[in-house]
Structures are given as structure tokens and as C-alpha cells.
Amino acid sequence: ENQDVLTSLANTPAVRTMDKAQADVVLGQAKELRPSLAGLFLLDLNQQVVSSSGGINPDSFQAEIKSAADVALTTGESAITGKLVVPEGEVEVIAMVSPVLSQPEDGSEGTEGTGTPVGAIGSFISIDRLQRSFLPVAGESESKTSVMLLSSDGIIADQETPNDTGRALNSQLEGAIAEAVAGKRVRINYTDEQDMQRMGVLLPVEYPGAQWAVAVTGPSPANYRPNESLVQDSLIALATAVAATLLLSVIFGELTARPLRRLTTEAAAIAAGDLDNQVEPVGRGEVYSLSLSLRDMANRLTSQVKEVEEAREQTAEQNDLMRELLRRTVRLQEDERRRIAGDIHDAVSPLITGALYRVRALLLTETSTVHTNGNGDSEANEGLVATSELLEQSMDELHNVIFALRPPDLDDVGLEAAVERYVNQINRTGLPSELEVSGELRRLSPEVRLGIYRIIQEALHNALRHAHADEAVVKIEYRDNELRASVRDNGSGFDIESAGRSMSLGLLSMRERAAAIGADLDIVSRPGAGTIVVLRRPWENDLVRPVPETEPDTWADDVPVDGTSANGTHETEPVPEAQNA
């Protein structure tokens, strides 16, 4: 029982680190929980006392403890001293010393050490408790039978009899005691201090680290020779019973401690997240009830973990469905944008172009009349000029709207060229902007190209229309682990939490497009400090597709806009003959 206590203490981090403050706390608590221990002490590798508790000073028995500590540090096994007499109160004790080993290689705490010794821990055990452990076996009669617990250093404990008969055992039978301590059963015959013939038997105590023997002696039946064998057999049986009592106490202690150690190991595994092993009920009584409770707790934890895993899988599936829905929504939006751009280009643009040419024709006619006849309406002429300019502005604005709805260069020349063209267009509107591209370019999927383009387009639009910025910088960075696109302006900035409705819709649109392509979007802004929009997309999210030998133009069949054909050539709309006239 005491060895289990020392082994448990030796495996605590406070003892392994040899920290005096922590060791004082641990040893003090252990002494309070184990009143049977007369004292505890902790030694370093130099066998200097690091900490002690219980009132017994280990330095008083430095030589005896050193011998046991040398054995413990050398062999890695526990060792026991002989009888020690405490000067204060003349209390008789023995000292048990166990090694303190370094932490195991796997780094687990609370398990038996398998490394090198870093010190030793010991306890003082009252000899009075040892005496009480075998007195019930020997009996408290006034017979001349003597029961003693011996070591090579002398008597450790003996049966308290009314006289000292047989107490001079050690001085006469050192050889027999040494054999018994070494593990042999020895029969003895000797003469005591009163010249009385005595006989007995020495049996070794089979306990790890204890070099002890039990001696049971009694008067020799010299006058009753026929009964000598019977007496010796009785003495052997008595000695065997005493040794068995000591052994059974160790076994019962182990039977109690083993289920607790097993439950401790299983509880540690559960705490570490290992819920696969089924906790089996062990022990009896309260230990058995504790193991059942631990098993029920493990089963509930396993069920809860499975529910959490299932919920996480369902959430992941819903997120995938949401991303797919966003992608389809974006595709539908782009299809609708292309349809609207085509309708405007086919229906509205020719009408405005025709009106522009007719006004120009009228203006030419009016100018010719003035030069020919010398008369004309100057106000009408000015009105035609103003109308012509207004139609030109309307045509330019219409082309910008068509371009915003359907950028033609995105599929023809790639993301970078399309963004550069849009940046140039922003420059012409009065917002100085620049594009920076870094890293090794990669071929992106159409959805990703479009999503990044639209986010950059929206960010620049916000900088121009809302932030009143006088500078904007667009960066596209092809990094090793991600694609990063950012738009920074030095405009008025805004409060993201309290942004207006129009700005909120723009932010929502950018976030939806980022989610649709599996990207993260961060927007940082504050009033008066400008705004930066950063998009990050890891390469591992199926962002890149292999470069085909010939990549078809996704929008090859789209209606060309602002005078650019599908093959990149410029077309000029024909002027009607009536207008030419």
C-alpha cells in the first residue's frame, strides 16, 4: 500500500520537476490523506533533501537513507532500510525509498515513468503498525514463543512478550538470517541468553525491495523428542501464516488499487478524446459503481460526439448546397445581364445612333443654308448642337452601361486584361486608378474570373460614386497558396455597421459573389480613412483548371457591344442613306 502511494507520488509533475514549493504542497496533502505514513521526503540525484513532511527530519538518518536511495536509483526498484529510531520521542520507524523517473517519451502525464532517475521519494513507516499487522496471527499469550521481523541489520519488529527470551537471535545466527533474507527457508537451533535451547524457522518475506525474514522461535522440546517434528511443523505453519498475512495484505492492496488504476487510465483516455474503447466494469462495491458511471458517461459522450459530427456533416452539405445555389444565381444574373445588354445594343443603341446621325444631318443642312442664303435660325442651330452633344453623351453612357453589364474582354483576353480595361475606363471618368499584377499567372475557371471581376468592378464603382476618392489601386496577386485580389482607395470611407441601403446592397453583392466561388471577403473601412476590399481564395478549392489546347470562348455567341465584334475587330454601324443625304 505504501509503495503504491510512493509510486503514485513519483509520477506527479510536481515531484518529477523537483520543485520545492510544489513538492511541499503535494507531500503535505499526501500526509494528510495517509495518516498511516509517519513522514514523507523527496531527494534529488545528489541525495539532498528537496522537501519533507510529517515532522521527521530525513537528515537525521542520512547514512541509512543513502544506502536505500543508492539501491533505488541504481536498480530502479524500491528499497527499505532497517529499523530507525527517531530521537524525538524515541519512535521506531523504517524508511521505504522509491525512484523518481523522468517523464515517458510520449509526454503523457500521470503514468509510470520509464526514463532515467531524477531523484528519489521516500516515506517513514511506523514499526508499531507492522507489529499490529502480525500480532493477531502470533497471539498475545504469555508463552515463550517469539515472532520477529528481521533484516540483515537486526530485529525490525517483534511480538511483545512479557520477557526478552530469544531476543539475542541476531548475534548468534547472522549466517542463517542472511540466507533467509536472501530468499531461503532456514531451520535454526540455538541457545538463548538464559542458556535455554530454542528452535525455530526463518522464512523470507516475498516483497519487492524488502530484504526481510520472519523468525518464529520457541523452546526446544529436548525432553519430548518424539514431538520435535510436530513442533517444528507447527512453527513452520505459524511462520507461513505470518508471511501469508503480509503477502495477502499486499495482494488485497493490489486488488483494490488495480481497478482504480484501470479506471484512471480509461478516464484519461476519455479526457483525451479516445471514445472508441468500451469501458468495462471492474472491481466490486463502490469501485464497480464508479466504473458503471464512467461507462455511462463515456457512452453519452460518444452519442453526443456522433450527433455533433452528424450536425457538422449536415452543415457542410447545406453550405455546399448554398454555394451551388449562389453559383447558379450568379450564372442566372450574368445570363440576364447579357440578355439586357444585347437588347439594349440591338434595340436602344441603334435608335440613339440614328437620332444622333439625323441631328447631325439637320445641323449640316442648317449650316449649309446659312452659308448659301445668308439666313437661318441661330437658336435652332444652337439647339441642334446641344441635342447632338446630348445624344453623344447618351451614346457614351449607353456604351458604359453595356460594358458594365457584359465585359467583352473577360473571356477573350483573360481576367487581368479585362480588369486593366475597366481601370482605364475608370481613369477616364476622373478617378486616377492603377492595376498591379504579381506572381505567376494561372488559368482560372470562368466562374472565378467573372466573380473576381465583378467584385473589383463593384469596389471601384463604390470608390467613384460613394467614396469620392482621388486615388484607387487594384492588386491581383498569384501567391503560392492562394489568389489574392484587393482594391484600396483613399476616399471618405464609411461605417460598415451603419452603411446606407445602397452601399449595403453593394457589399451584399460582393459577399455573395465571393461565397459563390468559395472565397473569403474582408472589407475594412472607417469614416475619413478610406476603404480596402480584400478577396482571398485558396488554390486547393478547385480554383484552377488545366490549360486546354484550345479553350472555347464561353460567350462566343454573345451579341457584341460598343462596336467590338466577337473576334475582336471593330465594326462601324452603317449610316442610313437618308441621313447621309
- Across 290-299, 383-392, 466-475, the highest mean pLDDT is recorded for 466-475
SS3 of residue 574 by DSSP:
coil
- Name the fold adopted by 409-557: Heat Shock Protein 90 (3.30.565)
Strand-pair category, 433-439 with 472-478: parallel
Query: In which band, very low, low, confident or very high, does the pLDDT at 124 lie, cut at 50, 70 and 90?
Result: confident
Q: Which amino acid is at 150?
A: L
**Which 3-state string (H, E, C) describes 436-476?**
EEEECCCCECHHHHHHHHHHHHHHHHHHHHCCCCCCEEEEE
Residues forming a β-bridge with 130: none
Q: Which CATH superfamily is domain 139-249 in?
A: PAS domain (3.30.450.20)
Query: In which band, very low, low, confident or very high, does the pLDDT at 538 lie, cut at 50, 70 and 90?
Result: very high
pLDDT of residue 111: 54
CB proximity list for 416: less than 8 A, separation 6 or greater: 435, 437, 441, 476
Number of H helices, E strands in the chain: 16, 16
Sheet containing strand 186-191, strands side by side: 154-158, 146-151, 212-219, 197-204, 186-191
Q: Which amino acid is at 81?
A: T
Cα dihedral: 236, 242, 246, 249 (round 10): 120
C-alpha cell recorded at residue 208: 519487492
Region 2-128: CATH code: 3.30.450.350
User: What are the boundaries of each domain within the chain?
Assistant: 2-128, 139-249, 275-406, 409-557
CB proximity list for 99: less than 8 A, separation 6 or greater: 10, 72, 73, 76, 77, 78, 117, 119, 120
Nearest to 435 by CA among 448, 421, 449: 421
pLDDT of residue 11: 87
Whether the domain at 139-249 and the domain at 409-557 fall into the same CATH topology: no
pLDDT of residue 477: 94
Calpha distance 476→449 (Å, rounded): 12
Nearest to 138 by CA among 159, 117, 114: 159
C-alpha cell recorded at residue 98: 522509491
Long-range pairs for 185-191: beta carbons < 8 A, 24 or more residues apart? 187/232, 188/215, 188/217, 189/220
Calpha distance 144→157 (Å, rounded): 17
Question: What separation, in Å, do the N-terminal and C-terminal C-alpha atoms of the chain show?
Answer: 120
Query: In which band, very low, low, confident or very high, does the pLDDT at 126 lie, cut at 50, 70 and 90?
Result: confident
Size of the chain in residues: 581
Q: What angle do CA 344, 350, 356 make, to 5 degrees?
A: 125
Q: Name the phi and psi angles at 83, rounded to 5.
A: -70, 135
Average pLDDT over residues 152-179: 64
CB–CB of 167/193 below 8 Å?
yes
Calpha distance 455→470 (Å, rounded): 20
Buried b (16+ CB within 10 A) or exposed e, 340-355: ebbebbeeebeebbbb
CB–CB of 475/534 below 8 Å?
no
pLDDT of residue 554: 38
CB–CB of 104/113 below 8 Å?
yes
The better pLDDT of the pair 452, 78 is held by 452
CB–CB of 540/479 below 8 Å?
no
pLDDT of 436 above 90: yes
The better pLDDT of the pair 352, 479 is held by 479
H or E stretch at 365 = helix 349-373
Each residue's pLDDT tens digit, 223-270: 455 556 676 778 888 888 888 888 888 777 767 777 777 778 777 777
pLDDT of 478 above 90: yes
